Chain A
Amino acid sequence: MTAEEATALTAKLDALQKAHDMAGTVNMEIFYWWCIALMVAIHAGFLAYEMGSSRTKNVLASGVKNILAFAFIVPTMFLFGWWIYGAMPNGFIPIAATDFAPWDDNMGPNLSDNATGIFWAAFTLFSATTASIFSGAVLERIRMSGFIILAVLLGSVVWIWAASWGWHPDGWMLKQLGYHDVGAAGVVHTIAGFFALGVLINLGPRVGKYAADGSPLPLLPHNMPLTLVGLMLIIVGFFGFLGGCIIYNNGGQWTNIYGQQTTLSAFAFNTLMGFAGGIIGAYWKTRDPFWMMSGALAGIFAAAAALDVLYPPVAFLVGMVGGVIVPIAGNWLERRGVDDAVGAWAVHGVGGFWGVLVAGIFASGYPNVGDAPAISFLGQLTGAVVCAVFGFTTGYAASYILKMLDLLRVPDNIQIVGLDKVKVPSKSYPEFLSPAE
């Protein structure tokens, strides 16, 4: 080979390498783009779920509330939520995170950065999911202004703060506890469920939910089939959500959020097995389609934290346990006088907590990368408690302040009239139904 031929070959190899790298970069963007699109289905699902679970007189108000939660999360994640993720891995003292600030060159169209926008968008959809989880719990009696403030607090501050502890490569929960939560059972679901619980205590039940002796009365969903379809749409969206929890490495194996090698196949095995176990567990316990579909979610959350390493039959079994415990938890809370309209605390709070513990039981001893300790039951239990306490205290404190400012609860006489009639300029079913008092 002559020197000229060698030079030409080298140039060709360089060009091929660049083309290969750019193809990988674009593939990465495409993968997350479609994960984001699928995650929007979570919100279509929550919209249907919430509206179906409302009584006719509150259907559109519930829809408006859900839509606004999504809308307000997007700009607030841009303004400060993304920065919190980058800045707070040590706890409460921020570290330098200029790459995450909204004025950084990467926070907008930038031809040298194919990653920031797509990851910001994926995290924003995670954020919107937490707000939607909370939204269902408080339907039919929360004031819109107070709701938006709480949704932004949860979606663009609280969960993303906890994600910085439990997901960030330098997060203290990873570094000190070996915390393992690849599918966000703790940092999304436990946080959101317990935040909702904190708010529900200050918000109080819907008018008519409890008899004079304190026993719960049924306030039935006006459209259970719509609720069930909504729940199934949420499941569809969770395939995008869990896809967004895995890291695409150009030219290398997938890794989870902690840098441990994994595969989409692992996620596929265990997501489906947890899903099916959750349905069957809830069917065995209740035979109620509402709890069966809620059990499907709980089954996925049960497997979520250790989605990368569970043996699929184990994922099925822990999902089944999730499907059994969630209706028990929901009914227990209802009997304690807390009106969680869609069982958000039970499904997400308790289901997510169980999922984090599952990783401690079945993934204990798996090594972490770098200097983080191995996964352990104590580390997982501590992480789950941190998520629950952080979610509950922030939700309780913020809703208490809003209650003092009279920005939390819709007056009882307005609840009796119905929120749609009072606040929404359009009608849900103008030709067919009259709202029940």
Chain B
Amino acid sequence: MGSPIDSWEGATAVFTGAHSSFSIGLSLLILVVVCVAPIVYSAIHEKAQYDKHS
């Protein structure tokens, strides 16, 4: 990733990975995975806990 700009003069998008479709795509993909994973984990954890207390 690193800096997408060489100078602040005239800079627009300054976020990490700006102008790099690979970097942005990878970040978005990871974001999706780490949002979905806790929901799956929650379902598994709940099931285990319910079985344990039944």
Q: Please report A residues at the B interface, Cβ cutoff 8 Å.
A: 72, 75-76, 78-79, 102-103, 105-106, 108-113, 143-145, 148-149, 407, 410-411, 413-414, 417, 421-423
User: Could you tell me which residues of chain B, from 21 to 51, have a CB within 8 Å of some CB in chain A?
Assistant: 21, 24-25, 28, 31-32, 35, 38-40, 42-43, 45-46, 49-50
- Supposing A79-B32, A105-B18, A110-B12 touch, asked if A422 and B49 sit within 8 A by C-beta, the answer is yes
Contacts of B14 in A (CB 8 A): 109-111
Interchain CB contact under 8 A, B35 and A75: yes
Contacts of B28 in A (CB 8 A): 79, 102-103
Interchain CB contact under 8 A, A413 and B15: no
A109 to B19 alpha-carbon distance, docked (Å) = 12
- Supposing A102-B28, A103-B24 touch, asked if A145 and B39 sit within 8 A by C-beta, the answer is yes
Interchain CB contact under 8 A, B43 and A143: yes
Nearest chain A CB to B30 CB, angstrom units: 11
- B13 contacts chain A at the CB level, 8 A cutoff: yes
Interchain CB contact under 8 A, A109 and B15: yes
Which among B8, B12, B21 is the interface contact of A112 at CB below 8 angstroms?
B12
17 more contacts with CB within 8 A, not counting A75-B31, A110-B12, A111-B12, are: A79-B35, A102-B28, A108-B15, A108-B18, A110-B13, A111-B11, A111-B14, A145-B39, A145-B43, A148-B39, A413-B53, A414-B49, A414-B50, A422-B49, A422-B50, A423-B46, A423-B49
A143 to B41 alpha-carbon distance, docked (Å) = 12
Q: Please report B residues at the A interface, Cβ cutoff 8 Å.
A: 8, 11-15, 18-19, 21, 24-25, 28, 31-32, 35, 38-40, 42-43, 45-46, 49-50, 52-54
Contacts of A407 in B (CB 8 A): 43
Contacts of B18 in A (CB 8 A): 105, 108
Contacts of A144 in B (CB 8 A): 42, 46
Contacts of A417 in B (CB 8 A): 53
Question: In the complex, what residue of chain A is closest to B15 when comparing beta carbons?
Answer: A108
Interchain residue pairs A-B with the least CB separation, the first 8: A108-B15, A145-B43, A105-B13, A145-B42, A112-B12, A109-B15, A110-B13, A144-B42
Contacts of A423 in B (CB 8 A): 45-46, 49
Q: Kindly count the residue-residue contacts between A and B in the assembled complex, taking CB atoms under 8 Å apart.
A: 67
- Supposing A143-B43, A145-B43, A422-B50 touch, asked if A76 and B35 sit within 8 A by C-beta, the answer is yes
Contacts of B53 in A (CB 8 A): 413-414, 417, 421-422
A111 to B15 alpha-carbon distance, docked (Å) = 10
A72 to B39 alpha-carbon distance, docked (Å) = 10
Nearest chain A CB to B1 CB, angstrom units: 12
Interchain CB contact under 8 A, B25 and A103: yes
Contacts of A102 in B (CB 8 A): 28
A162 to B54 alpha-carbon distance, docked (Å) = 42
Pairs A–B under 8 Å by Cβ, sample size 25: A72-B35, A75-B35, A76-B35, A102-B28, A103-B24, A103-B25, A103-B28, A108-B13, A108-B15, A109-B15, A110-B15, A111-B12, A112-B12, A113-B12, A144-B46, A145-B39, A145-B46, A410-B50, A411-B54, A414-B50, A417-B53, A422-B52, A423-B45, A423-B46, A423-B49
A156 to B25 alpha-carbon distance, docked (Å) = 20
Contacts of B52 in A (CB 8 A): 422
Contacts of B43 in A (CB 8 A): 143, 145, 407
Interchain CB contact under 8 A, B12 and A148: no
A182 to B40 alpha-carbon distance, docked (Å) = 38
Nearest chain A CB to B7 CB, angstrom units: 12
A410 to B25 alpha-carbon distance, docked (Å) = 37
Contacts of A105 in B (CB 8 A): 12-13, 18-19
Contacts of A111 in B (CB 8 A): 8, 11-12, 14
Question: In the complex, what residue of chain B is closest to A407 when comparing beta carbons?
Answer: B43
Nearest chain A CB to B8 CB, angstrom units: 8
Nearest chain A CB to B4 CB, angstrom units: 10
A79 to B21 alpha-carbon distance, docked (Å) = 15
Nearest chain B CB to A115 CB, angstrom units: 14
